[in-house]
Every structure is written in C-alpha cells, then in structure tokens.
Amino acid sequence: MQPVKKALQAWRIQQRVIVALMIRELTTRFGRENIGFLWIMAEPMLFAVLVGTMYSIMIGEQEHGVGVIAFVASGYIPLTVMRNSFGRIVSIFLVNGALLYHRQVRVLDFILVRFLIEMVGGMMAYLFVGTLLIAFDLFPVPAHIGFFLAGWSLYMLFVFSLCLVIAPLSEMSEVLEKLMPVTVYIAIPLSGTFNMVSWLAPAARDVVLWSPFVNGMEMMRYGLFGDAVRPYYNIWVPLGASAVLAVIGLALCRRVRRTLVVE
C-alpha cells in the first residue's frame, strides 16, 4: 500500500503544479482586465464565424447538402487549436526554463499546460458557436455525440503528440521557429478542414486518409451531420501516428532536459 500512497501523493502534487502553471500562463497572456482568459474562446470563435460567413457569401448557404457556415466552423475551430498549439509550443523551454528550479516542475508540464489551454479554449468556442448557431438554425444538433467526441479526442491526441516533438526540436534549432507558420498553412489541405473525403477523387481519397487529422475530422463531421455526410476514417492511423510521435517526443524532451541550463 505504501507505493500506492506515494504514487497518489505525487499525482496530487503534479495536479497542483499543472493548475498553478495554467493560472500563471493565462494571467501572463491575457492579464486580468477586459474578458481575460475568455479570449482563448473568443479567438477561435470569431475566426470560425467570420470565415464561415465569408464562405457562405461566396458559394451559397449549402454545399454537398450541408450548411456552409456549420461545415466551415466545425473544421476551422480544431484547425485554430492545432495552429495555436504549434505556435505557442515553439521555444517553450527557453521561456519557462527558470521554473525548472522547482523540482516538482517538469518540462512536460510546460507542453501539457499550453496544449490544454488551447484545447479547452477550442472546446468552449465549439460549444458557444454551436449553441448560438443552433438558435438561428445554422448549425445541426449533433447526430452522434459519441462519434464527435471520439473524433475530437483523436484529433487532439495527434496535436499533442506533435507538440511533444516540436517543443524539443525548437530548442535544438532556431530554424524551426521560422518554418513552423509556413508548415502549418501547407498542412491545411491535409487537415480535412474545408472538405470531406467523400468529395474527393478516389486517388486523392487514398492519400488524405493517411493524415491523422483527416480521420479525426471525418469522425467529428459524421458526429455532427449524421447521414447527411458519408465519412471515411480509420482510427488506427491517428492512434498509431500519435503513439510513434509520443515516444519520439518523450525521448527528445529527455535529451533536451539534460542539456537545458536552469538560471
């Protein structure tokens, strides 16, 4: 029983560390004035609604039998979480290295905290936008909530596993900081944000299904729109890719921690 008690105590301590780091990060980034930490929800929400409205003006209210505003918003919010997570994770050890003076703080805590902030913000934005648009009959009531949550989880799991790799690599090379914004935008066609796999030609379909993002997005879209869309997905692609990247990321984080100078 003694090892179990020690493990539980260590877990409780780590929970307090993560909460404290989240409060510090939110206060540093958003301050205490105006709407404060609610900006983590406002940013993806505004982007999703504005981009969805723009697309509906250009191509009409519906595309392939689904509402354009709902379709764009449902893809753009996860994309914003992904983009912001990658942007915030670059050089994270350099910025927060002084906190490693406290032995309870780990390098993984920095990555987890910034990812959790972006993910929670995205979830809040999704809930608020969905509720608001449902009231105006512009967003569907989720047809299969289980599929939606499973797709969201797989999408976010892959984002987090990539963060585990990006964070230590950005510490090893400054070039990554310059390439990251370009890389994210190049990856948009392989994210499933603006199209369903069923809309593509068979040859293109076989290619994009190797993208973990696409598989998660397809499940989210099916969870939202139900039989109005035809999903293509394979859960083992995001699960397998996330597992491989997590192992590589943890090894890189351990290597960086050994060479990181704590001031």
Residues 45-103 pLDDT 10s: 777 777 777 767 776 666 667 878 888 888 888 988 898 888 888 878 777 767 777 77
What is the SS3 assignment for 144-178?
CHHHHHHHHHHHHHHHHHHHHHHHHHHHHCCHHHH
For residue 107, name the pLDDT band (cuts at 50, 70, 90): confident
- The more confident residue out of 146 and 4 is 146
Q: What pLDDT, on a 0 to 100 scale, did the predictor assign at position 219? A: 95
**pLDDT higher than 60, residue 194:** yes
Q: What is the pLDDT of residue 214?
A: 94
Mean pLDDT of 120-147: 86
**Predicted confidence (pLDDT) per residue in 140-172, tens digit:** 888 999 999 999 999 999 999 999 999 888 888
* pLDDT at 124 (0 to 100): 85
Domain ranges of the chain: 2-259
Q: Is the pLDDT score of 1 beyond 70?
A: no
Q: What are phi and psi of 63, to 5 degrees?
A: -145, 125
Tokens 């050890």 map to which residue? 93
Tokens (6 digits) for 1: 């029983």
Looking at residue 141, what is its pLDDT? 87
Q: Measure the CA–CA gap between 76 and 6, rounded to whole angstroms.
A: 43
Q: What is the pLDDT of residues 10-41, one digit of tens each?
A: 778 788 888 888 888 777 776 665 555 667 77
Residues 6+ apart with CB under 8 A from 19: none
Q: How far apart are CA 260 and CA 110, in angstroms?
A: 14
Mean pLDDT score, 97-121: 82
Amino acid 217: pLDDT = 94
Q: State yes or no: pLDDT of 128 exceeds 60.
A: yes
- Beta-carbon contacts of residue 236 (< 8 Å; ≥ 6 apart): none
The Cα-based distances of 139 to 52, 71, 131, 162 in angstroms read 11, 8, 8, 30
Is the model more confident about 40 or about 122?
122
d(CA 148, CA 223): 4
Note the pLDDT tens digit of each residue in 215-241. 999 999 999 998 888 999 999 999 999
Query: Cβ(122)–Cβ(80) under 8 Å?
Result: yes
* pLDDT for the residue 156: 95
